[in-house]
Amino acid sequence: LGCDDGTNIHRQKSMNSGPKASNLRRCLSTIDLTLLSLGAMMGAGLYVLTGTIAKYTTGPAVSVSFAAAGAVAFIAALCYAEFGAQFPHTGSAYVYTYVSAGELWAFLIGWNIVLEYIVGGASVARAWSGYLDSLTGFRVRNSTISVLGHWNLPYFGDFPDFLAAGIVVTCTLFVACGARVSAMMNHLLAAVSLATAGFVIVFGFILAKPEYYGQNYGGFAPFGVSGILSGTATCFYAYVGFDIIATSSWEAKDARRGVPIATGLSLCIAGSIYILVSAVLTLVLPWRDLEPAAALADAFGQRGYHWASIIISVGSLCAMTTAELSGVFALPRVLLAMSDDGLIFPFFGYVNKQTGVPLMAAFVSGLLTAVLALCLSLDALVQFMSIDGNHNPTSTVHCLELRAGDLSSAEEPGSCADTHELIVIKIDIKSIFNKTPMHSQALPFLSLYSCPLLSVSPFKVPLVPFLPAFSILCNVTLMLHLGIQTWVRLGVWVLVGLFIYFGYGIWHSHAGDKDHLTSYSPKARYVAFTTPASQSPQDEAGN
């Protein structure tokens, strides 16, 4: 599609199903979606992020940061749930922005989602490698450094992490086998992860020493309120997995019901576990003595319970494998949606008919994730991830406000509205040819207005626009507490995206095609009750 003028960047997408997206199989239940989200959230965030934030940012107040981040994430998740129930299409925030704010903003959001999943997958793989290497006494790290040397480059790891790249490739191969295979593997690993988290909470509170929160150890919040806010901004990264439900909604058996339930359930479970585990961590061991690379396992090991350390290490590997699997599963769906709209190269839209998986998107995204996991350090990856994890939910919340305040973006009327139209047309025709007063036939029709004219989403965010506005305020506040280098990296990524969009996407977009263009206006669907011009008041009185 050619680009005629600058208004094309504001083109909006309709929600007619795309030809390639329809090849995805609807095979995921509400439980599948819930466990998929839990798997995405309870990975490196639980077993690595807790120790890193507690030691360097918040101290024992890390539990407060997780609670605050969970509350902000829950509000944003409500908006995802409404969109996911109303528009069960693959693509998550990218699709929601496309139907609400226009093409350019949608591309940038989709581009940032790609960054989120690639960087998130690489960070989980790095954490996974660190935990596995710790079980061997760091022999893998020492051997690699002795052969290839020690890297001293900014943002790069100390050595090329082949274990991290290997787990990414393995998860990509599992995802290529199909959604059902991925879901079954996810169920098994998620069960082990939840059991391990339960063990940490119960045994940790048995070993807890409340004096570690005393002034002798720096107090409960040694870094003050600013530390808690900075920790909250980073903790938000731990919850970003909830958007995988919206990304996978096209493959849900009952998206309108399952997406809201799975979103709320997974966030409540994950939030409770994060708060309890982070509290336990700083009660088992003083926050200054934590080992960020393997905080939970090392904390129990320092207390002399090495058998517990082994159990936690095995559980953490299962949890991070689940998180890696979830991220590798979701990213190809986003690339598929963007390719289906013509904004990126068409080979990303190839869906294998046997497995129902966008294979090229899976392999390319898996390769990029593996390269980042091989080269970059965990700290650089987490910092890069933090701002993107806040930015995408903020855009989705804003899109909900746009749709709530714009009648022209309302969902197309459903069967109830179609029935209304047929009845109105029948009344108009009958009143013209039979010369009967319209009001005498309209009264039975008026009772039908107990059924809304516009179809209603099965889930609605309460207190609109106040709750979404509060969510945006919280997200922006958290983003402002991130470092300047994080913003610079995001800016570079956005510039690359703009180059791709104006060099390719805007010229090949399908948004101007008949099947994709949003030309619907609710006002055109209303039929006025008017007296035909040929019928005079005298004729009406005579009848």
Place of tokens 């690489």: 122
CB burial readout 197-215, b (16+ within 10 A) else e: beebbebbeebeeeebbee
Q: Which amino acid is at 489?
A: R
Report the C-alpha gap between 13 and 15 in whole angstroms: 7
CB-based contacts of 414, cutoff 8 Å, min separation 6? 455
| Predicted local distance difference test score (pLDDT) of residue 529 | 34
| Predicted local distance difference test score (pLDDT) of residue 438 | 44
Cβ-contact 235, 53 below 8 angstroms: yes
Report the C-alpha gap between 139 and 233 in whole angstroms: 34
CB burial readout 129-143, b (16+ within 10 A) else e: bbbbbbbeeeebbee
Cβ-contact 390, 464 below 8 angstroms: no
Q: Crossing angle, helix 295-302 and helix 255-284, to 10 degrees?
A: 30
Report the C-alpha gap between 334 and 349 in whole angstroms: 10
| Predicted local distance difference test score (pLDDT) of residue 401 | 59
CB-based contacts of 86, cutoff 8 Å, min separation 6? 256, 411, 457, 459
Q: Phi then psi for 133, rounded to 5 degrees?
A: -65, -35
Report the C-alpha gap between 418 and 505 in whole angstroms: 36
Distances in Å between the alpha carbon of 418 and those of 86, 139, 311, 443? Answer: 18, 68, 59, 18
Q: Phi then psi for 513, rounded to 5 degrees?
A: -70, 160
pTM: 0.73
Cβ-contact 386, 482 below 8 angstroms: yes
Place of tokens 């990975």: 43
Cβ-contact 130, 51 below 8 angstroms: no
> Any bridge partners for residue 28, and if so which?
252
| Predicted local distance difference test score (pLDDT) of residue 537 | 41
> Any bridge partners for residue 156, and if so which?
376
Q: Crossing angle, helix 438-446 and helix 415-433, to 10 degrees?
A: 160
| Predicted local distance difference test score (pLDDT) of residue 362 | 92
Cβ-contact 387, 479 below 8 angstroms: yes
Report the C-alpha gap between 75 and 97 in whole angstroms: 18
Report the C-alpha gap between 405 and 367 in whole angstroms: 42
Ordered by where they begin, the domains of the chain are: 11-411+457-508 (1.20.1740.10), 415-456+519-542 (no CATH)
Q: Which amino acid is at 347?
A: F
Judge residue 388's burial from the number of C-beta atoms within 10 Å of its C-beta, 0-12 exposed, 13-18 middle, 19 or more buried.
Answer: buried
Q: Which amino acid is at 525?
A: R
Place of tokens 């009406």: 540
H-type alpha helices, 341-358: none
Both tokens of 393, joined, read 């939910």
Report the C-alpha gap between 410 and 343 in whole angstroms: 24
Report the C-alpha gap between 277 and 199 in whole angstroms: 10
Query: What Rg do the C-alpha atoms of the chain give, in angstroms?
Result: 27
Cβ-contact 267, 239 below 8 angstroms: yes
Quote the Cα angle for 402-405-411, to 5°: 80
Compute how many other C-beta atoms are within 10 angstroms of the C-beta atom of residue 536: 11
User: Going residue by residue through the chain (543 aa), what tens digit of pLDDT does each one get?
Assistant: 445 545 677 777 765 544 344 456 777 788 888 888 888 888 767 877 888 899 988 999 999 999 999 998 888 888 777 777 777 777 777 887 887 778 888 898 888 888 888 988 898 898 888 888 877 878 888 898 888 888 888 778 888 999 999 999 999 998 888 877 777 888 888 889 899 999 999 999 999 999 999 888 889 999 999 899 888 888 887 887 777 887 777 777 887 788 888 888 999 999 999 999 999 999 999 999 888 777 888 899 899 998 998 899 889 888 889 888 888 888 888 898 888 888 888 888 888 888 778 889 999 999 999 999 999 887 778 766 655 555 556 666 666 656 655 544 444 444 444 444 344 444 444 544 455 554 444 444 444 443 443 444 566 777 777 777 787 787 777 777 666 777 787 788 889 989 999 988 888 888 766 544 443 333 333 333 333 334 444 444 444
- Single out the residue of 191, 242, 239 nearest to residue 33, CA to CA: 242
Describe the chain by its helix, strand, coil percentages, rounded to 5: 75, 0, 25
